[in-house]
Amino acid sequence: MWRARIGRVRIKQPAGVAVLDVPTRLDLDPVRVLSAAAEAGLERVVLAGYTKDGKEYFASSVADGGDALWLLARCARALLNNG
């Protein structure tokens, strides 16, 4: 069983910096991405990444590993088709 805690992250936007909601090929700050996800009102979340020391990190609000993998596969397909 997969378990994760998802919390809200608030970020103070620096004055004079505009946030554009457009696709980009540039890497984004993970905290900014997590903040946007927290504001999106998601029902299910699967999170994957790397720690500063290069270790893989995985968390999911979906208890069933198969369902979490299915969500990842669907998102990978959407990225390949639209990205």
CA-to-CA distance for 27 and 68, rounded, in angstroms? 24
- The position carrying tokens 């999170």 is 47
Collect all residues with Cβ–Cβ distance below 8 Å to 32 and sequence separation of at least 6: 11, 19
Domain that holds residue 41: 1-83
Most confident of 27-31, 37-41, 52-56: 52-56
Q: What is the pTM of this model?
A: 0.65
Q: Provide the domain count of the chain.
A: 1
Helix (H, G, I), strand (E, B) or coil at 22: coil
Identify the pLDDT of residue 54: 94
- Angle made by CA atoms 79, 69, 57, in degrees to the nearest 5: 85
Taking only the tens place, the pLDDT of each residue in 3-35 is 444 444 455 566 666 666 677 778 888 988 888
- The answer to whether the CB of 48 falls within 8 A of the CB of 72 is yes
